[in-house]
Amino acid sequence: MARAHFLAPPAARKLGLCVGSFAIFFVIAELAYRALASDVQTTAIQMVYHDGEHREIGPEEASERGMLQALEPAPRPRLVFTPGTSFHIGYKGDSNPYLGEHGCVPVSYNSQGIREREELCAPKPPGQERILCLGDSFTIGWGIKVEDVWVRQLEGDLRREGEDIRSINCGAAGTLFVDEYWWGLKERFKAFEPDMVLVSICLNDLLPVNQGLAHHRRDEMTASDPELAWWHSRIIRDLSSWDSLPPRMRLDPSRDWTRELLDLAEDDPAFTKDVPQGTYWAGGGPQEALRQIRDWCRQREIPMATIIWPLFQGTGTGEFYPFASMHAQFSEFCQSEEIPCLDLLPTFTGHDSQSLWVNSSDYHGNPFAQRLATDAITPFVKRLLL
């Protein structure tokens, strides 16, 4: 009888064995996950030299190989890809269908230092019309094949009606802000003899939201992934947020984020010596540059228009998009200055943000997002060309 009091019933022993086994398994799994998490979750951009081997190469080696050079002259210090350079943009651990066999997309720069066909560097043939597209990484099509970018898709749409039209992608060719687009037009890109100028604007052209193409909360600028206490499970944390936006993109809907960014002081850390407050909307730089581009086009009697892109966060049905008032301000400015403007926010509203991303660490538009944009841009451009 004494022994019977000491031993648990068979069912209890089995339950205890199961619980103990699961606990041991979970501890082992947690330790393994923590050890491997950086590899499993890393999707950082890697640049691969175009030598047929798809070998990863960093900025230092790229410079040593002559792939990068300083843009001179330039409004601000800029490194650009050397004309004639080819490489790949790759994503570790990504298997999206629009990426190639090695998880990469090819990128080639022509003799004029833009991601375009070499034939467009020749003088414009008689009867051909050219649409010059100015902008940043949303225009160049960072992370996707060149044929999937809205610039090339726009050309395809317009040429279906038999017109001899070429769209020229001047995105992110040493010009990353609106005043630089204006400088690029008058100093470099006018050589393409445009018959129309499209200025593609992203929110990071207007507001200091450059960190990862998403606005970071103040408390996350220094530690986006703080260390967990030892008794907290990283597996449970990651699984519970698997289908949600990163914390830096979940912003309080009760706050006016546009107003707060516009009201930042000149000495705020968001601004730097090379990118001061005047570069952004609050400093008036984009407005003045757009007026200059408009006047340049008027002198040549060619149409000019703007396209404003949303950041791909909070675009899903019923979600909070934090920068709608900036879109409204931009559209109102364009209307007052008689600059045609297409706001793409309505185009993407209702689409889950993650369905628009190149991948989970790169919030540029994927081919699906590019097609959505093109379906709105094409009729807009057609009306201006009439």
- More confident: 79 or 39: 79
Look at residue 288 and tell me if it is in a domain.
yes
Look at residue 32 and tell me if it is in a domain.
no
Convert the pLDDT of each residue in 212-238 to its tens digit. Answer: 454 444 333 333 344 444 445 544 444
Structural domain total, the chain:
1
Domain coverage including residue 165: 125-210+257-385
pLDDT at 257 over 70: yes
Provide, rounded to the nearest whole percent, the portion of the chain with pLDDT above 70: 75
Q: How far is CA 31 from CA 20, 23, 234, in A?
A: 17, 12, 9
> Residue 15: which pLDDT band, with cuts at 50, 70 and 90?
low
Q: What is the pTM of this model?
A: 0.81
Look at residue 46 and tell me if it is in a domain.
no
Range ranked top by mean pLDDT from 209-213, 241-245, 257-261, 287-291: 287-291
- More confident: 9 or 141: 141
Look at residue 221 and tell me if it is in a domain.
no
> Residue 103: which pLDDT band, with cuts at 50, 70 and 90?
confident
What pLDDT is stored for residue 88 in this prediction? 85
What pLDDT is stored for residue 89 in this prediction? 84
Convert the pLDDT of each residue in 156-207 to its tens digit. Answer: 999 998 889 999 999 999 999 999 999 999 999 999 999 999 999 999 999 9
> Residue 62: which pLDDT band, with cuts at 50, 70 and 90?
confident
Q: What one-character DSSP code corresponds to residue 341?
A: E
What pLDDT is stored for residue 181 in this prediction? 98
Look at residue 171 and tell me if it is in a domain.
yes
Rounded distance, CA 372 to CA 125, Å?
31
Helices 285-299 & 324-336, crossing angle to 10 degrees?
40
Beta-bridged to residue 304, according to DSSP, are: 197
- More confident: 345 or 218: 345
pLDDT at 16 over 90: no
What pLDDT is stored for residue 264 in this prediction? 92
Range ranked top by mean pLDDT from 103-107, 217-221, 324-328: 324-328
* Helix (H), strand (E), coil (C) string for 344-372: CHHHHCCCCHHHHEEECCEEEECHHHHHH
Convert the pLDDT of each residue in 42-52 to its tens digit. Answer: 334 555 555 55
pLDDT at 290 over 80: yes
pLDDT at 322 over 90: yes
Judged by average pLDDT, the poorest of 65-79, 150-164, 290-304 is 65-79
- More confident: 68 or 333: 333
The tokens 């992110």 sit on which residue?
172
pLDDT at 12 over 80: no
| CATH code, domain with 312 | 3.40.50.1110
Whether 350 contacts 315, CB under 8 Å: yes
pLDDT at 249 over 60: yes
Look at residue 243 and tell me if it is in a domain.
no
Nearest partner of 178 among 92, 88, 291, judged by Cα: 291
Pair type for strands 129-134 and 196-201: parallel
Contacts of 355 (CB under 8 A, 6+ apart): 368
The single-letter code of the amino acid at 83 is P
The single-letter code of the amino acid at 373 is A
Provide, rounded to the nearest whole percent, the portion of the chain with pLDDT above 90: 59
Contacts of 26 (CB under 8 A, 6+ apart): 233
Contacts of 340 (CB under 8 A, 6+ apart): 303, 304, 305, 306, 334, 380, 384
What pLDDT is stored for residue 361 in this prediction? 75
pLDDT at 41 over 50: no
Mean pLDDT of 329-349: 98
Rounded distance, CA 126 to CA 122, Å?
12
> Which backbone phi and psi does 79 adopt, to 5 degrees?
-95, 135
Q: Mean pLDDT of all residues in the chain?
A: 82
Rounded distance, CA 354 to CA 333, Å?
30
Look at residue 67 and tell me if it is in a domain.
no
What pLDDT is stored for residue 19 in this prediction? 54
Look at residue 372 and tell me if it is in a domain.
yes
What pLDDT is stored for residue 223 in this prediction? 35
